[in-house]
Structure 1
Amino acid sequence: MNKTISIKTGFQLASRSTALGLVLATIAATAQGQATSVNPGVIEEVVDGFEGVTGLAQVAGRNASVKATAAGATSGTQAVGATFLPGAAGVYSTVRVASSSVWSLAGKAGVAVDITNPSSETVQFGLALFDTAGVSSGNYTSIGPNETKTFFLSFQADANPADYGMAGLPSPYPGYQVVRANASALNMSQVARLDVYMRWPTESKDLYIDNLRIVGAVNTLDLLTGMVDAFGQYAKNIWPDKLTAQSQLADRNTLEKADLLANPRPSTFDIYGADPTGLKGAASGYFRAEQINGKWWFIAPNGNRFFSNGMDGLRRGSTLTPITGREYMFAELPATNTDLAEFYSTSGTTTSFNFYGANLKRKYGITYDGNWQTRTLDRLASWGMNTIGRGSDISFIGNGRMPYVANFKVDGTFNHVLVDPTVNSPLADPFDSKWLAELTIDVQRWAGYVKRDPRCMGYLVDVEPIWCTYDAKIGDIALAYAVMKQNSTSSPAKLAFNNSMVAKYGTVLNLNAAWGTKFTAWS
């Protein structure tokens, strides 16, 4: 049995040409309220704080009741206590906040309002703006039990991340729960009211409403300028344990050393991380599978049962952040005449920087490469893991401490079968003799790397092939369709199929008679 967990660390900003990349994990955390923005660039204009004896003068309920309350107040001392009453199908329960004078949202991003749910259940509700002509735009959302959130009804069109060489952009409105307004002809310069509503609730629901404000638009370039700090972190948020000085890396290294010494690998592990107690298999000197009393077990070289619990993708590669054309995004980059210059690289006309490698050197010093591998093995052992999974750095082969999986991809000029045109991951044609020749070469090369190491659990070849598509018409037989589309003169797989049909039916006429088809030739 094998259980592996993939964890990616750091982030990448891809080049404009490929428009690929990973969104900063810290940006996602911001949207969930786990981080605090230090420079959001958001300008707010409060239009109603519901304060004082006239605080609810512009608030009215329709199939709902409203009152002033201190509960749920997020700005000042008073909020709107709203009770949405049950109604028949088609009867909305609505709290209307009208403008004392028309609100102009022209050039603005939308409106924000603080909502509190005092109940122990999730509550669904809608937000909508109405103009003076009665045209509306809004959307439905929800709030969890005992939560207070800022809901942002957004009318701002999103920038295209690919224009900035990214797969996603940081939220312009950190900490807000964004509700995308649906398309309509709402006159943004003549907004008359905000409705908070529920669609015919079956029972009374309470919400507290406070701090209604107009939210200004954020310029995307302003949002991205200086967003990456010297350590490759998102610069415009703060969160627990965010790195703020290089000296903290040394401090963390010392603390982690102490923690790993205090929490070594489980004492129940044998030298391979296997279970030395209970049933035993045959000690073959290598990892193998064996059936014992009707059950299959993974058996370590010494015959002990082995439950593989590990992590994929343990490597330092794939961490280059393209710089060229996006210099404005980086608050600070090392000079090219410093000891971190080795982490710059150039491909074509694009210069990139390896923040992860630089941080490893900052933390471990000039021997960072070996220290990284040693620390990685120490961590896995301390966490109770016993396997280095696929996609990991080749330097873990022959590490002498922990079992691992070797994996490689067979490349060459042999025929390939593209099963899903939307995913560039073609399958090798196993009927092509060139494929067998390339496979033999690669197996011999990797066997040379492994050198009969007993800790090598096995090999993964061409991992995660695409066998099927989401096309409902062909689904899980997409591979057969893809082969049939090829020409037998250039596709050994198609030729092998044709030969099997010839052997069975003799002629195309016989095949058509048996299958009810109208083929005219074998090709």
Structure 2
Amino acid sequence: MKRVALLASAALCALPVGRAMATDVADLAVSSTGVQLQQVQRVGNVEHDSHGTPLQRYAFQPSSQPQLIITPAAGVWHWSGQGALRIQVQNAMPWALTLTIDIDGAAPEQHLHAVVGLPAGPAQTLVLPLHATSPRAFGMQVGPSMPFDDQGHAVFVATTVEGSIDLAQVRAIRLSMPAPQAAQQLLLGNVDTATGDMALQHAYRGIVDRWGQYTRGTWPEKIDSDTALRTAHMQERRTLDAQLAERHGLDTYGGRQAIALKRTGWFHTQKANGRWWLVTPDGHAFFSLGINAVAADNSRTYVQGREFMFVDLPPDQSPWHTFYGISDSRDAERGASAGIGANRGRWFDFYEANLYRVESADWLTVWRKRTLDRLQAWGFNTIGNWSDDALGKLHRVPYTLPIYINGNFGNVSSGFDYWGRMPDPFDPRFAQAVERAVTKATAPSHNDPWLLGYFADNELAWAGQGPQGRWGLAIGTLRGEARSDAKQAFIAMLKKKYGEPAKLAAAWGIAFIDWSGLNATNFAAPEPNEAHPAIADDYSAWLRAYADAYFGLVAAAIHRHDPHHLFLGGRFAANTPEAVASCAQYCDVISFNVYADLPQHGVDLDAVHKLDKPVLISEFHFGSDDRGPFGKGVVSVWNEAQRGEAYARFVQAAAHDPAIVGTHWFEYIDQPVTGRLIDGENSHIGLVGITDLPFGGFVEAVRKTHLGIEQGGLNP
């Protein structure tokens, strides 16, 4: 360990280059060399923490970026061989503070950067690894809660560090806060470095117990024995029976008997008195209250290469061998999987193992019955995407099905390829893939009246990022290779409109001589601008043609193979007005995955109303980090209680919009603490935890919201 600086009676004191730090405070009592204060003030005399460490209080004043800078007395620090920077720190405020730590090298590009949220409480050791790292490198998207107890000492490890630095030439440490509105006080003490990555490893060590729960936290639904697990499930059974008796006024499929509409024998859509409805096969109004990923096998997590994270992991032998498996790897081309470590090999399914602990060999059959009881008791009337097919086949709750269009066909980058590049619908092989996918998806259920309809794909990259993101697919098409079918179709459209290359050049304001120039890979497609409105017009026409080709092919195949059921759209995340309008033309319902506090803040419903088409919110959720998993989901709230409040606001706002015909929550089960297989997501967004026990307060808020809608909360 190398001491970098020590707090004396009046200042943080920096170490001259190449000299070991003295540990006698008296040696440094009057020194202030190397400390710069910008909108930061020293406050009072030296204080001490519970271990006797001297601490100096600093007030970060209101400004854009108040900062304290520690520099060597001369030259630079030589930290070669060191693995982490350690700073004794205490948040002196009664709320969490955001602290930014920057370490500067000798060259401008040499820089390490981290941002941490320091909770209020006792002093702790803040550890910053001296290299880039993130929870993704450990196989998960969000790292463990901080601080944690490391042999009696509170340690806060910055699990996300960006940048790189030559440790032989370190010239400054900067501590700052982003734009405080009032003075915020920190107590700072010793600053030193340590070899190795022990603190970082300890941050992840032993964080999951034998049931898949986070070891360092407590919450009401957490269990500590198999007996407690079985007892909790037996108690819930009695509650479910009582809740099931509260539901009334519904037809066989969950439709509202008080609102009679057209009866066709199949789910369909109908507009009545200015409001869109889904309609049950029996002819009653149906507002779809759904939940996604209702499946027992969605909670697998990699254990290979990170066994140190798990405490008392069951042995890979009977009966636990059933819950182990091996996966090749995540799709490295997806943005969702970029930089994710622990991405292949042996995995374990804690959720299914817990079901076995409660129900023994018959666990899957019992789980399916209990799950359907729950959905009905809690007021859910739709089994959403990515769910166990067997649940729908039991004909207790209507269900949806996904259509996965995969194959060896071309693709186009829109610039936001989180789940992959856009399929090229102009490639003849795409039409063949659609035919195969639709045939496979519709064959088992095309005569089942309990099927609500089909989704095609999920969150396709219809748009890019940034202010010009709307045009990403058009620009990406022109940047593609000449062999791209989409690119050739776009060129053909431009030739038909302009006839001569010079006319296109003038309209777009580009130097352009010959049509063959468009065939160049990475063609520099211009961004739309006010001086050349034709660019936006042409891009818009192409985006609509692209969407028409996609939705037209899929819709035709679905209607050909299954004329009875609804095409529920493509679950838009990124979208463009052109893609949404095309979906309105070819789909029965426009589906949006909406991650916002209210539907109206995630979808331009005014524009959708003009299309006069029903809308389904096919994904939404609210997460917090007080039930085990570290992530808060896409839309976070402060705590578990606020999840229920947010759910009620969202669903009620959706139900009172005349175009919205349903909301589907994502997802049924919490994600694993150490991340799911596909991309390492590890958020608390479920109705039940990894032990299959419901989060009681949240579930009750959900149930009451649904009862209000079922029993008169909507009118035709």
TM-score by length of structure 2 reads 0.49
Query: Hey, what's the Cα distance between the residues in 2 that align with 1:111 and 1:353?
Result: 35
Structure-2 residue corresponding to 1:407? 402
Structure-2 residue corresponding to 1:239? 218
Q: Which amino acid aligns with 2:459?
A: E
Query: Hey, what's the Cα distance between the residues in 2 that align with 1:522 and 1:80?
Result: 65
Structure-1 residue corresponding to 2:85? 110
Query: Hey, what's the Cα distance between the residues in 1 that align with 2:393 and 2:450?
Result: 7
Q: Say if 1:361 and 1:59 are closer, same or farther in 2 by CA, change over 3 A.
A: farther
Alignment match of 1:152 (pick from 117, 126, 132): 126
The farther-off stretch of 339-348 and 470-479 is: 470-479
Q: Say if 1:484 and 1:206 are closer, same or farther in 2 by CA, change over 3 A.
A: closer
Residue 244 of structure 1, CA deviation? 3.2
Structure-2 residue corresponding to 1:515? 504
Q: Say if 1:182 and 1:291 are closer, same or farther in 2 by CA, change over 3 A.
A: closer
Paired residues of 2:323 and 2:353 also in contact (CA < 8 A): yes
Offset from partner CA, 1:79-126 (integer Å, 9 cap, x none): 867667789x99x79899xxxxxxx99947334445344578x87777
Q: Which amino acid aligns with 2:281?
A: P
The farther-off stretch of 366-375 and 440-449 is: 440-449
Structure-2 residue corresponding to 1:27? none
Q: Which amino acid aligns with 2:411?
A: V
Structure-2 residue corresponding to 1:345? 325
CA RMSD of aligned residues (A): 5.6
Structure-2 residue corresponding to 1:252? 232
Residue 159 of structure 1, CA deviation? 4.7
Q: Which amino acid aligns with 1:110?
A: L
Q: Say if 1:64 and 1:227 are closer, same or farther in 2 by CA, change over 3 A.
A: closer
- SS of the counterpart of 2:229? helix
Residue 294 of structure 1, CA deviation? 2.6
Q: Are 2:445 and 1:450 equivalent residues in the alignment?
A: yes
Query: Hey, what's the Cα distance between the residues in 1 that align with 2:494 and 2:69?
Result: 72
Paired residues of 1:125 and 1:142 also in contact (CA < 8 A): yes
Q: Say if 1:145 and 1:514 are closer, same or farther in 2 by CA, change over 3 A.
A: same
Aligned pairs (5 A) from 1:120-519: 150=124, 152=126, 154=128, 156-159=130-133, 170=144, 174=148, 176=156, 178=158, 205=183, 207=185, 209=187, 218-219=197-198, 228-235=208-215, 237-240=216-219, 241-264=221-244, 267=247, 270-271=250-251, 272-277=253-258, 279-327=259-307, 329-346=309-326, 350-413=345-408, 415-420=409-414, 422=417, 424-429=420-425, 432=428, 435-470=430-465, 475-479=470-474, 481-482=476-477, 485=480, 487=482, 491=485, 493=486, 504=496, 510-512=499-501, 514-516=503-505, 518-519=514-515
Paired residues of 1:149 and 1:176 also in contact (CA < 8 A): no
Structure-2 residue corresponding to 1:3? none
Residue 475 of structure 1, CA deviation? 4.5
Q: What runs of 5+ residues in structure 1 fail to find an aligned partner?
A: 1-41, 97-103, 131-136
Structure-1 residue corresponding to 2:107? none
Q: Say if 1:58 and 1:289 are closer, same or farther in 2 by CA, change over 3 A.
A: farther
Query: Hey, what's the Cα distance between the residues in 2 that align with 1:475 and 1:483?
Result: 15
Residue 253 of structure 1, CA deviation? 1.3
- SS of the counterpart of 1:367? helix
Q: Say if 1:387 and 1:139 are closer, same or farther in 2 by CA, change over 3 A.
A: same
Residue 300 of structure 1, CA deviation? 2.6
Q: Say if 1:65 and 1:466 are closer, same or farther in 2 by CA, change over 3 A.
A: closer
Query: Hey, what's the Cα distance between the residues in 2 that align with 1:477 and 1:418?
Result: 10
Query: Hey, what's the Cα distance between the residues in 2 that align with 1:381 and 1:68?
Result: 63
Residue 273 of structure 1, CA deviation? 3.3
Query: Hey, what's the Cα distance between the residues in 1 that align with 2:162 and 2:425?
Result: 50
Aligned pairs (5 A) from 1:83-94: none
TM-score by length of structure 1 reads 0.64
Residue 158 of structure 1, CA deviation? 4.7
Offset from partner CA, 1:201-241 (integer Å, 9 cap, x none): 887x3636377686856425566565554334455x24334
Q: Say if 1:327 and 1:118 are closer, same or farther in 2 by CA, change over 3 A.
A: closer
Query: Hey, what's the Cα distance between the residues in 2 that align with 1:185 and 1:302?
Result: 71
Residue 407 of structure 1, CA deviation? 0.9
Paired residues of 1:322 and 1:353 also in contact (CA < 8 A): yes
Bigger fraction of residues in helix:
2
Q: Which amino acid aligns with 1:239?
A: T
Structure-2 residue corresponding to 1:4? none
Query: Hey, what's the Cα distance between the residues in 2 that align with 1:346 and 1:153?
Result: 35
Q: Say if 1:147 and 1:487 are closer, same or farther in 2 by CA, change over 3 A.
A: same
- SS of the counterpart of 1:291? strand
Query: Hey, what's the Cα distance between the residues in 2 that align with 1:468 and 1:230?
Result: 43
Query: Hey, what's the Cα distance between the residues in 1 that align with 2:119 and 2:197?
Result: 31
- SS of the counterpart of 1:252? helix
Query: Hey, what's the Cα distance between the residues in 2 that align with 1:140 and 1:326?
Result: 24
The farther-off stretch of 474-483 and 301-310 is: 474-483
- SS of the counterpart of 1:377? helix
Query: Hey, what's the Cα distance between the residues in 2 that align with 1:293 and 1:115?
Result: 61
- SS of the counterpart of 1:482? helix
- SS of the counterpart of 2:453? strand
- SS of the counterpart of 1:366? helix
Residue 460 of structure 1, CA deviation? 0.7
Residue 435 of structure 1, CA deviation? 4.1
Q: Say if 1:302 and 1:188 are closer, same or farther in 2 by CA, change over 3 A.
A: same
- SS of the counterpart of 2:291? strand
Offset from partner CA, 1:8-43 (integer Å, 9 cap, x none): xxxxxxxxxxxxxxxxxxxxxxxxxxxxxxxxxx9x
Q: Which amino acid aligns with 1:404?
A: Y
Structure-1 residue corresponding to 2:548? none
Offset from partner CA, 1:309-341 (integer Å, 9 cap, x none): 222122233544445555555444444542222
Paired residues of 1:74 and 1:114 also in contact (CA < 8 A): no
Offset from partner CA, 1:402-456 (integer Å, 9 cap, x none): 122111113344x332234755344152562x54454345434433322432222
Identity of aligned residues (%): 21
Query: Hey, what's the Cα distance between the residues in 2 that align with 1:259 and 1:475?
Result: 49
Q: What runs of 5+ residues in structure 2 fail to find an aligned partner?
A: 10-24, 71-77, 105-110, 149-154, 329-343, 506-511, 520-716
